[in-house]
Structure 1
Amino acid sequence: MPRRPVSNRVKVKQDEAFERYISDAKTDLATGKCLTIPEAAEMHRVAESTLRNRLKGKRSRQECRIGEQALTPAEENPIKEWVFKLDDWGFPSRHQYVKDMALDFIKSHDIQSQKLGKNWMTRFLSRHPDLASKFCTRLDKQRAYADNPEILEDFYETLLIAIREHGIVAGNMYNMDEKGFLMGRSARVKVILRRGKKRNFKSQDGTRKLITVIEAVSAAGTTPPPMIIYQGEAQYAG
């Protein structure tokens, strides 16, 4: 049975783990914990020849590839931090925005070819395993700002007080929701965000014109017919 190919992201993690083993072996030799190179190599599960070469100053594979990359690590790290901030604020960055920021760095290199390769984004993500590319659902800014546990807890405490104070019965309590359909605009878009994030929403301007469907259900389980609202063609004075 043929072996499954290893992804670039897995290779990066393996390289990072290997570099930690090399670093620990060099530290043990420097501090005297290991007295010989063979002893340090065996303890940290690295090849003796590789450890000897590193002690002589040979560079790692990652360091050798830096000269082939469009951006240096010092330039890529601010892009990653910028992506993190946008994701935390509820505005995960689209692929093109990340590429535009990278191109701004390339323009400062004063080189003739100021462009990114077609696989640059894939390799950028593989060099930064804590980032991921996913499809996300658009979410209005007002909803993104309201997605706060403290705000929700305060709302339901206030609601409970109102129900008890006015004796509101289940049949008179309705939960209403609406679903908007932006005409000619995709509901899902591919963005760059933190790896492992479960809920993927991209905030957007909530003032666009759309077709809206409104549905409601009471706490007693009754459901009135849904309402569909279309954009008006003209306004009549009556």
Structure 2
Amino acid sequence: MQQKEDQIQIAVALYNAQVLLPEEERLCIDNIAKSFSIPYMTLHNRISGTHNNHDTAARHLQLLTNEEETSLVDYIKRMSLSGNPPPVRTIRELACVIQQNRLDYDPIFNPPPPPVSSKWINRFRKRHPEVQTAWSRALNTCRVKGTAPEKLAPFYAELGILMEKNQYLPSNIHNS
């Protein structure tokens, strides 16, 4: 699929690069499409700007908005850095909570949103490959290996960013 997308982008670039050529020397869309084995309408729509890629076209079908998914990914990363990655069940439950607590959700005028299925988590992982599932190890082994400075540095870097971003006061941090 990616190879086909790359071919389309190259074909569009070739068509756009012909602007400097005289009119009679330019290749038409049909010839370019045939040489790259791309359907004429696909190339025509890309060149004219009327094409939406699949992610954009299907965005309204997603259970969570891009901003909500980004927040969920940030949460997963923070929990993983602290050594407590959330299980898949928890991620699905959080997605349900986010979905039901939307500001624009009104149970009186709108039907309830569809439930977050087990298939959703697989699509979520495809959209966010930086979030990976891993088996947990025994806690004692993790504690021994996890106390090395190079292991703790990302956690404290993320903590520093959160403290600056949210302006937490040192007096509000317990057990420090």
* TM-score, structure 1 normalization: 0.44
Corresponding residue for residue 52 of structure 1: 44
- SS of the residue corresponding to residue 135 of structure 1 reads coil
User: AA paired with 1:30?
Assistant: N
Give the superposition deviation at 1:49.
3.0
Report whether the alignment pairs 1:29 with 2:22. Answer: no
Q: 1:75 to 1:37 in 2, by over 3 A?
A: farther
Q: 1:39 to 1:131 in 2, by over 3 A?
A: farther
Give the superposition deviation at 1:121.
0.9
Give the superposition deviation at 1:70.
0.6
CA RMSD of superposed structures (Å): 3.5
Partner Cα distance (2:35, 2:68) in 1: 36
Give the superposition deviation at 1:42.
6.2
Partner Cα distance (2:4, 2:56) in 1: 14
**Contact 1:90-1:144 within 8 A present in 2 as well:** no
- Structure 2 counterparts to residues 109-148 of structure 1, below 5 A: 109-110=104-105, 111-114=110-113, 115-140=115-140, 142-143=143-144, 145-148=146-149
Q: 1:39 to 1:73 in 2, by over 3 A?
A: farther
Q: 1:36 to 1:86 in 2, by over 3 A?
A: farther
- SS of the residue corresponding to residue 111 of structure 2 reads coil
Residue among 51, 63, 88 paired with 1:70: 63
Aligned length: 137
Give the superposition deviation at 1:18.
4.0
Structure with the bigger percentage of helix:
2
Q: How much identity, in percent, do the aligned residues show? A: 18
Unaligned runs of 5+ in 2: 20-25, 153-176
Report whether the alignment pairs 1:90 with 2:83. Answer: yes
Give the superposition deviation at 1:91.
2.3
Give the superposition deviation at 1:51.
1.4
User: AA paired with 1:99?
Assistant: R
Structure with the bigger percentage of strand:
1
Structure with more contact order per residue of length (Cα contacts < 8 Å, sep ≥ 6):
1
Partner Cα distance (1:142, 1:29) in 2: 58
Q: 1:85 to 1:32 in 2, by over 3 A?
A: farther
Partner Cα distance (1:150, 1:85) in 2: 14
Residues 61-116 of structure 1, C-alpha deviation per residue, up to 9 Å, x if partnerless? Answer: 33332222211233223322332333333222211332233223312040432431
Larger-Rg structure: 1
